[in-house]
Structure 1
Amino acid sequence: MRVSHKLLTVASPIALLSGAPALAQAADQPAGASADESSATQDIVVTAQRREQSLLKVPLAISVVGNEALQSKGISASSELASAVPNLQVSSPFSIIPNFTMRGIGVGNEYNANQASPVGVYIDDAYVASRASQGLQIFDLERVEVLRGPQGTLYGRNTTGGAINFVTRAPKLSGNNGFVELGYGNFDDRQAQAAVELTLVDDQLGLRIAGTYEKNDGLIRNVVPGTPRPNSTDSLSGRVTLRIKPGNGAVDIRLKGFAARSDGTQVGVHGITASRAGLGFFETAHGIVAEQPMRVQGGQANIKIDISDRITLNSVTSLQSGKGYVVQEADGSPLPVLYDDLRSETKEFNQEIRLNYDTDRLHLVGGAYYGSDRNATNNLFNIGGTTGFLQSFVQKRKSYAAFAQGDFNLSSDLVLTAGIRYTRDKSRYEDGKSFFVVLPFEAGPVTQVLQTVFGTDVPASRQCATKPDNSVNLCDSEGAVTGKIGLSYTLANGTLLFASASRGYRAGAVNGGGFTSARGIFYVAPEKVNAFEAGFKGRYFDNSLTAAVSAFYYDYTNQQLQDVRTDNTIVGPAPVSFLLNAPKSEIYGLEGEFQLRVSPALTLNASIGYLHATYKQLELGTLLDANSVPIPGSGTRLDGNDLTQAPRWSIQAGFDWRAFAVAGGDVRLNGNVNYYSRQWLSPWNEKNGAGSGSKNQELVQPGYAKVNGEISWEKGNVRVSAWAKNLFNEKTYAYGLDLYSGGLGYNYLAVANPRTYGARVRFSF
Structure 2
Amino acid sequence: MKACITAALFAGASFTFPALAHAQAADPQAAPTTPTTDAAPSETPPDGDIIVTAQRREQSILSVPIAISAIGANTLESKGITNSANLAAAVPNLQVSSPYGSTQPNFSLRGISVANEYNSNQASPIGVYVDDVYLASRTAHGMGLFDLERVEVLRGPQGTLFGRNTTGGAINFITKSPKLQGNEGYAEAGYGNFNTVTAQGAIETTMVEDQLGLRVAANYAKGDGQIRNVFPGGRDPNSQDTLQGRATLRIRPGGGPLDIKIKAYGGRDRGTQAAVHGLQQFRTGLGFFEVNENRIGLNRTEAYGVSATVAYELSPTVTLTSITSRDGGRQNLQQASDGSPLDVLNINWQSRFQQFSEEARFNYAGDRLTLVGGGFYGWDEVVTDNNFKIGSMLGAGVDGGFFQHYRQVRRSYAVFAQGDYDLTDRLTLTLGARYTWDRSQYRDGYAYLFAGGVGGPETPLATTVPCPGVPGTCAYDPSARFNLDGQNNALTGRASLAYTFEGGTLVYASYNRGYRSGAFNGGGYTSSAGINYIAPERVNAYEVGLKGRYFDNALTLSAAGFYYDYSNQQVQDTRPGPVSFLVNAPKAEVYGAEAEARLRLSPALTLNAAAGYLHATYKSLTLQNTVLDGNDLPFAPRFTAQGGFDLSLFKNGNDGLTISPNVAYFSRQYFSPFNDINAAGAGQMNSELQQPGYAKVNLAAALTTGRFTFKAFANNLFNARVYAYGLDLRGAGFPYNFLVPSTPRTYGGSVRVAF
Calculate the TM-score normalised by the size of structure 1.
0.93
Counterpart in 2 of 1:576?
Answer: 579
Distance 1:37 1:133 in 2: 32
Alignment of 1:219-230 (within 5 A): 219-230=226-237
User: What stretches of structure 1 of length at least 5 have no aligned partner?
Assistant: 456-466, 568-574, 622-634
* Cα distance change on mapping 1:661 and 1:395 into 2, 3 Å: same
Counterpart in 1 of 2:436?
Answer: 423
Instruction: Tell me how large the CA RMSD over aligned residues is.
Output: 2.1
Matched letter for residue 605 of structure 1? N
Matched letter for residue 681 of structure 2? G
* Cα distance change on mapping 1:116 and 1:722 into 2, 3 Å: same
Matched letter for residue 408 of structure 2? Q
Residue 507 (structure 1) shift: 0.4
The answer on whether the counterparts of 1:28 and 1:67 sit within 8 Å (CA) in structure 2 is: no
Q: 1:129 aligns with which of 125, 132, 136?
A: 136
* Cα distance change on mapping 1:442 and 1:85 into 2, 3 Å: closer
Distance 2:294 2:466 in 1: 34
SS in structure 2 at match of 1:85:
coil
Distance 2:510 2:655 in 1: 48
The answer on whether the counterparts of 1:397 and 1:428 sit within 8 Å (CA) in structure 2 is: yes
Distance 2:388 2:150 in 1: 40
Q: 1:400 aligns with which of 400, 406, 413?
A: 413
Residue 742 (structure 1) shift: 0.3
User: What stretches of structure 2 of length at least 5 have no aligned partner?
Assistant: 24-31, 393-398, 471-476
* Cα distance change on mapping 1:699 and 1:453 into 2, 3 Å: closer
Q: 2:121 aligns with which of 110, 114, 119?
A: 114
The answer on whether the counterparts of 1:273 and 1:746 sit within 8 Å (CA) in structure 2 is: yes
Residue 640 (structure 1) shift: 0.5
1:526 aligns with 2:526: no
Residue 29 (structure 1) shift: 7.3
Residue 694 (structure 1) shift: 0.4
Matched letter for residue 476 of structure 1? G
Distance 1:681 1:435 in 2: 30
Distance 1:40 1:495 in 2: 18
* Cα distance change on mapping 1:375 and 1:155 into 2, 3 Å: same
Counterpart in 1 of 2:254?
Answer: 247
Fraction of identical pairs, as percent: 52
Distance 2:576 2:224 in 1: 40
Residue 74 (structure 1) shift: 2.3
Counterpart in 2 of 1:444?
Answer: 459
Residue 134 (structure 1) shift: 1.3
Residue 422 (structure 1) shift: 0.3
The answer on whether the counterparts of 2:166 and 2:515 sit within 8 Å (CA) in structure 1 is: yes
Q: 1:147 aligns with which of 154, 163, 169?
A: 154
Counterpart in 2 of 1:624?
Answer: none
Distance 2:636 2:654 in 1: 47
* Cα distance change on mapping 1:381 and 1:37 into 2, 3 Å: closer
Residue 446 (structure 1) shift: 2.5
Residue 138 (structure 1) shift: 2.7
1:696 aligns with 2:686: yes
Counterpart in 1 of 2:4?
Answer: 5
Residue 472 (structure 1) shift: 1.1
1:414 aligns with 2:421: no
Matched letter for residue 203 of structure 1? D
SS in structure 2 at match of 1:173:
coil
The answer on whether the counterparts of 1:418 and 1:486 sit within 8 Å (CA) in structure 2 is: yes
1:764 aligns with 2:754: yes
Counterpart in 1 of 2:615?
Answer: 612
1:587 aligns with 2:577: no
Residue 447 (structure 1) shift: 1.2
The answer on whether the counterparts of 2:210 and 2:255 sit within 8 Å (CA) in structure 1 is: no
Counterpart in 2 of 1:41?
Answer: 47
Distance 1:709 1:12 in 2: 39
Alignment of 1:627-638 (within 5 A): 635-638=625-628
Alignment of 1:254-333 (within 5 A): 254-333=261-340
The answer on whether the counterparts of 1:28 and 1:68 sit within 8 Å (CA) in structure 2 is: no
The answer on whether the counterparts of 2:35 and 2:51 sit within 8 Å (CA) in structure 1 is: no
- 1:246-301 deviation per Cα after TM superposition (whole angstroms, max 9, x unaligned): 12420110000111000011111111111111111011111111111101111011
Matched letter for residue 290 of structure 1? G
Distance 1:420 1:58 in 2: 18
* Cα distance change on mapping 1:288 and 1:542 into 2, 3 Å: same
Q: 1:75 aligns with which of 73, 81, 86?
A: 81
SS in structure 2 at match of 1:270:
coil
SS in structure 2 at match of 1:159:
coil
Distance 1:711 1:664 in 2: 15
SS in structure 2 at match of 1:365:
strand
Counterpart in 1 of 2:213?
Answer: 206
Residue 37 (structure 1) shift: 7.6
1:84 aligns with 2:90: yes
- 1:21-74 deviation per Cα after TM superposition (whole angstroms, max 9, x unaligned): 99xxx999759x995586441011111000111111101101100112122222
* Cα distance change on mapping 1:340 and 1:443 into 2, 3 Å: closer
Counterpart in 1 of 2:395?
Answer: none
* Cα distance change on mapping 1:363 and 1:661 into 2, 3 Å: closer
Matched letter for residue 565 of structure 2? D
Residue 390 (structure 1) shift: 0.6
Distance 1:345 1:423 in 2: 26
1:380 aligns with 2:387: yes
The answer on whether the counterparts of 1:19 and 1:540 sit within 8 Å (CA) in structure 2 is: no
The answer on whether the counterparts of 2:730 and 2:736 sit within 8 Å (CA) in structure 1 is: yes
Counterpart in 2 of 1:566?
Answer: 576
Residue 108 (structure 1) shift: 1.0
The answer on whether the counterparts of 2:189 and 2:199 sit within 8 Å (CA) in structure 1 is: yes
SS in structure 2 at match of 1:608:
strand
Counterpart in 2 of 1:542?
Answer: 552
- 1:482-535 deviation per Cα after TM superposition (whole angstroms, max 9, x unaligned): 001110011000011111011000000011011101111101110000000001
Matched letter for residue 16 of structure 1? T
Counterpart in 2 of 1:16?
Answer: 16
Distance 2:419 2:427 in 1: 14
The answer on whether the counterparts of 2:9 and 2:544 sit within 8 Å (CA) in structure 1 is: no
Residue 310 (structure 1) shift: 1.0
